[in-house]
Amino acid sequence: MDNIFTATFFVSIFASTIRLATPILLTALGEIYTQRSGILNLGLEGTMTMSAMAGFVCAYFSKNLFIGFLGGIIVGMICSAFMAFLSITVRANQVIAGTALTILGIGFSSFIYRIIFGIQKLPPQVESLTKFDIPLLSSIPYIGTIFFQHNLIVYLAYILAVFSWIVLEKTTFGLNVKAVGEHPRAADSKGINVSKVRYTAVIIGGAFAGLSGAFMSIAYMNSFSDTMIAGRGFIAVAVVVFARWNPLRAMVGSLLFGIASALQIRFQAIGVPIPNQFLLMLPYLVTIIALITVSKKAEFPSAYTKPYSRMER
Amino acid sequence: MKKTVKVLFVLLVLSLLVTASVSAADEKLKVALILPGQADDMSFNQAMYDAMMQVADEYADKIEVTVVEKVYEVADIEPALMDFASQGYDIIFGHGFQFQEPLIAVAEMFPETAFCLGTGYLTLPNTAVYDVELDTGGYLMGVLAGLMSETGKIGVVGGADVSEIFRGHEGYKYGAKSVNPDIVIEEVYTGDWNDSAAAKEAAISMYDDGVDIIWHSGDGIGLGVLEAAKEKGKFALGNVADQHTLAPDNVLSGVVYQWAPIIKNIIDDVISGAFFKTDPLFYWINIPNGGLTYAPFYELSDKVPADVQAQVQQTYQDLKDGKIELPDFEAAK
């Protein structure tokens, strides 16, 4: 117990943090597009589960992980297109539609999985995505192990965070997304097709959640279970609010959750004299505290969760 | 709303199974198995499901079996039990601790029906409890891990700190210390039986810290531990089923559950009437009665020194003969 805070301890914790943050970051990035356009998609947990299943099934039968990721992304887009239809075209209550999508996604994915594989003695598996050590960089002591010895999707997630920031802050498309989220009527009067932009934003969100779901089943793990997402879809929504709809801050939020998870695991393992039930709460406590501290500063998009219609005033 | 989905799922499975079994003869005992999770969860539910299917085959002339899955919420359990009891089922298995209160309540209303509770302590003349003495299985794994570790550090990963899982983990620590009093044991509960990614992360962090062998106490999280072992090229020990094929180079051995013998005991006792005459009635699977065994080393056999193999075999035999006394871990808690 005396010298637990060694270099190995920190290297292991930080590398673990980066992996644990990845699925949350990916999902949160997509949700930022969605929410910036004024739509709250609470169905991410279900979307991720569907994509985890689809990604696994595609990878299992094609023996190709790339096809697995593609399948996951496409299914994520289909799920979110359904959400977009409900919230934009049908103008349903988004909280209810999202919750329903979560329940449907989890139930439907385990149903499909059972139809395809039945009940087996041992679960079907794929060869999961192996880690890719970035040449030169990965051999830097400590830093290399922490940052440059992960699988490709992990690197991609952090690149996408920067990319998403550029898209939202520096492009016309980003401006359109924000415009329909802040004041759809004004955007409409300027000739922006509100529902088209919103559909696009929600489906982009689905693609991200899809990649993240497939990451869970074929990159993080090598098998599927209907409970494997384990609340990460909801944590991602919390991270979006914490990040105040900024992709770079979402990276910070995800890493914060990641380090809290990594620390609690490590503390349990080395036998810190705190009951494990309290340590297990740590990541969620951090999430709540983080949300409370930033909630005053959070300025929700003005048209958040409000369906738009030209007919109404 | 989650509940509604579960109820619908149960109804769907029920209707399928009922239609499927209509043609069977009437003379047989009707047995219902209610599982709190999925029959292919690799663990608690699957061990029981597989055993029940095996018994259903072997006792094909005596029983017919109906299974429902995912009856998890206490609010769904009582209606499910009532439903089977009022349909005239003879033996109803509620496979989980959360079945205890509703099972006792329903059993009081149907004194002619036999009810079996998977882990618990309350009984009535027409109910019995069946449970697993995982402390003995854990002890054996602890001995093996303690002998095999070169770094003097071993690990154990579990879902949550409850009943048989807790006893198993304590048995593991006790066993490891019996062969190496200075051994360091790292223990993590993931707080959930399904978050395999968290379990993988827990196992990786242990391996990074110098742990060279980890036992997991079952369920979906076990897959995370095996995946970490594969990635780090270290040893892991399985639980419930023989998990050798999941990672042939890394799964050294594991505890294997055999529920089938006690299911047969229960059915025989119901047929003979002894079931209703004994109270309280407990059926245990443990090492002495062959309900718990350990998986063979397969091709990793040459990595396990002969004296270690002999000592593990001897420990198994001693546990079987009752020569090793384990303390009552739950009382000590």
Q: Is A223 on the interface with B (CB under 8 A)?
A: yes
Asked whether residue A306 is domain-assigned, the answer is no
**What is the distance between the terminal CA atoms of chain B, rounded to a whole angstrom?**
37
Nearest chain A CA: its distance from B170 CA (Å): 14
Look at residue A277 and tell me if it is in a domain: no
What is the predicted pLDDT for the residue at A162? Answer: 97
Among A20-24, A59-63, A250-254, B237-241, the range scoring the smallest mean pLDDT is: B237-241
Per-residue confidence at B8, pLDDT binned at 50, 70, 90?
low
Q: How many CB pairs under 8 A join A and B?
A: 115
Contact B208/A12, CB-based, under 8 Å? yes
Q: How many domains does chain A have?
A: 1
B250 contacts in chain A (CB < 8 Å): none
**Cβ–Cβ of A269/B189 closer than 8 Å?**
no
Indicate whether A60 belongs to any domain.
Answer: yes
Contact flag A223-B196 (C-beta cutoff 8 Å): yes
Average pLDDT over residues B290-296: 93
Say if A241 falls within a structural domain. Answer: yes
> Which of B188, B193, B251, B333 to mutate: most A Cβ within 10 Å?
B188
From B195's Cα to the closest Cα of chain A, the distance in A is 5
Mean pLDDT for the stretch of residues B291-310: 94
**Hey, is the C-beta of A110 within 8 angstroms of any chain B C-beta?**
yes
The CB density around residue A292, as the number of other CB atoms within 10 Å, is 9
SS3 of chain B: the string is CHHHHHHHHHHHHHHHHHHHHCCCCCCCEEEEEECCCCCCCCCHHHHHHHHHHHHHHHCCCCEEEEEECCCCCHHHHHHHHHHHHHCCCCEEEECCHHHHHHHHHHHHHCCCCEEEEECCCCCCCCEEEEEECHHHHHHHHHHHHHHHCCCCEEEEEECCCCHHHHHHHHHHHHHHHHHCCCCEEEEEECCCCCCHHHHHHHHHHHHHCCCCEEEECCCHHHHHHHHHHHHHCCEEEECCCCCHHHCCCCEEEEEEECCHHHHHHHHHHHHHCHHHHCCCCEEEECCCCCCEEECCCHHHHHHCCHHHHHHHHHHHHHHHCCCCCCCCHHHHC
A4 occurs within a structural domain: no
- Residues of chain A with C-beta less than 8 angstroms from the C-beta of B44: none
**A278: closest chain B residue by CA:** B191
A225-241 pLDDT, tens digit each: 988 999 999 999 999 99
B209:A12 CB<8 A: yes
The full set of domains in chain B, from first to last, is: 2-132+259-285 (3.40.50.2300), 134-256+297-332 (3.40.50.2300)
User: Quick one: average pLDDT of B10-28?
Assistant: 57
Domain residue limits at A47: 20-252
Q: Do B227 and A221 touch (CB under 8 A)?
A: yes
Chain A hits for B192, Cβ within 8 Å = 227, 230
Whether the per-residue pLDDT at B21 is higher than 70: the answer is no
* Dist CA A64 CA A244 (whole Å): 37
pLDDT of B9 above 70: no
State mean pLDDT over B268-290: 91
Q: Is the model's pLDDT at A95 over the cut of 80?
A: yes
Which range is least confidently modeled, B16-30, B221-235, B279-293? B16-30
Sign of CA dihedral A178, A180, A181, A186: positive
Rounded to a whole number of angstroms, the distance from the CA of A37 to the nearest CA of chain B is: 28
* pLDDT, tens digit, 9 for 90 and up, residues A155-187: 999 999 999 999 999 999 999 999 999 999 999
Residue B24 pLDDT greater than 50, yes or no: no
Residue A99, pLDDT above cutoff 80: yes
Q: Is A252 an interface residue toward B (CB < 8 Å)?
A: no
Span B49-75, average pLDDT:
93
Which segment, B12-26, B274-288, B305-319, is predicted with the most confidence on average?
B305-319
**Residue length, chain B?**
333
Rg (CA), chain A: 20
Asked if residue A136 belongs to a domain, the reply is: yes
**Is A32 contained in some domain?**
yes
Could A123 and B39 be called an inter-chain contact, meaning their C-beta atoms sit closer than 8 Å?
no
- Contact call for residues B304 and B252 (beta carbons, < 8 A): yes
Residue with tokens 């099934």: A57
pLDDT > 60? residue B19: no
- Model pTM score: 0.88
In whole numbers, what is the pLDDT of chain B averaged over residues? 90
Instruction: Compare all CA atoms of chain B with the CA of A7 and give the residue at the minimum distance.
Output: B209
In this prediction, residue A313 carries a pLDDT of 60
